[in-house]
Structure 1
Amino acid sequence: MITQQEMLNHFLPILEEKGSIYQKKSLIKAKKAVPGVVIITRTNDGDETKNKAEKGDWLVENQTSSSEQYLVKPDVFEKKYTLIQSLENGWGSYQPKGKIIAIEVKIENLSHFTKDEKMEFQAPWKELTLLRVGDFLVVPPEKNEIYRIAKKEFGETYEKA
């Protein structure tokens, strides 16, 4: 398995040199996650990854065509989102804040790890996640983790800052 550290070691210099700064352009829905529940993140191109909720985690739903859901740790959630409006059943509408650095993945970016147009690597939450040519690799400003956002969902969710 390709670890987070291996991904950061390889891609961080590329992101720093060729990456662009983006911000979310749409609101998200979120609520406190039920501890122990497993969330499978599904994008338009299929299952991306899974994650098991721990106490305090937030369940986030992007307002995209696939309505993909994922879990966010409480400290990260507080840094990234501001409540705009309370909704039904514990959900809230949140305004994203903060920025990311991202690059669109090209075949030559993957050649260090594989000859294929896709590969799996360890997500920050320790599960495998899929990465395809055309997807975006993303790091937060702290540059302490790296993750994938599928191409279609990235286009629906982010804009250059």
Structure 2
Amino acid sequence: MISQQEMLKHFLPILENKGVTYQKKSLIKARKAVPGTLIITRTNDGDETKNTAKAGDWLVENQTSSSEQYLVKPEVFEKKYKLIQSLEKGWGCYQPIGKITAIEINADDLAFFGKTDCMEFEAPWNELTLLRVNDFLVTPPEKNEIYRIAKKEFFETYEKV
């Protein structure tokens, strides 16, 4: 498995040199996650990753064609989202306020790791995640983690700053 550290070591210089700053353009739905709940993130191209909720985690649902769900740590959630409206059953509508730096992945990027059209690597939450050619690799301003956003969902949710 390709670790977070290996991914950061290889891709951070590329992100710093060629990366583009984006922000989310669409609202999200979120609620406190139930600890122990397994969340499988599904995009239009299939299962992306999984994660198990811990105390304090937030369950986020993007407003995309796949309505993908994922978990966010409480300290990260507070930096990235602002409550707009409370909804039913503990859900809320939130305005994204964070930014990311992103690059679109090409075949040469995967070839560095001996792969052709897709590969798996360790996500920041210690589970495997999939990366395909034309997906986006992103990092927050802190540059302390790196993760994938599928191409279709990326363009449904992000815009250049």
Identify the TM-score tier after normalising by the shorter chain.
over 0.9
Q: Distance in 1 between matches of 2:72 and 2:139?
A: 15
Tell me the equivalent position of 2:88: 88
How do 1:115-134 residues align onto structure 2 when only pairs under 5 Å count? 115-134=115-134
**1:141 is paired with a residue of what secondary structure?**
coil
Give the AA of the match of 1:35: P
Report the counterpart of residue 56 of structure 1 in structure 2.
Answer: 56
Q: Which residue matches 1:68?
A: 68
Unaligned runs of 5+ in 2: none
Aligned length: 161
SS at the partner of 1:125? coil
Q: CA deviation at 1:115?
A: 3.2
Identity of aligned residues (%): 79
* Amino acid aligned to 1:4: Q
Question: 1:19 and 1:42 mapped to 2: Cα distance?
Answer: 25
C-alpha offsets along residues 21-60 of structure 1, whole Å, 9 cap, x if unaligned? Answer: 0000000000000000000000000000000000000000
In the alignment, which residue of structure 2 is the partner of 1:104?
104
Distance in 2 (CA, whole Å) between partners of 1:53 and 1:120 is 21
Task: Please give the alpha-carbon distance, in whole angstroms, between the structure 1 residues aligned to 2:123 and 2:158.
Answer: 20
Deviations along 1:44-79, one digit per CA (max 9) or x if unpaired, are 000000000000000000000000000000000000
TM-score w.r.t. structure 2 length?
0.99
TM-score (norm. length: structure 1)? 0.99
Q: Which residue does the alignment assign to 2:7?
A: 7
Match of 1:156 in 2: 156
Instruction: Report the alpha carbon displacement of residue 91 of structure 1 after superposing the two structures with TM.
Output: 0.2
Instruction: State the distance in 2 between where 1:2 and 1:98 align.
Output: 27
Between the aligned partners of 2:78 and 2:114, the Cα distance in structure 1 is: 36
Runs of 4+ deviating beyond 2 Å: none
* Residue type of the alignment partner of 1:5: Q
AA in 2 matched with 1:9: K
**CA–CA distance in 2 between the matches of 1:59 and 1:114?**
34
Secondary structure at 1:40 match in 2: strand
CA distance in 2, matches of 1:142, 1:75: 13
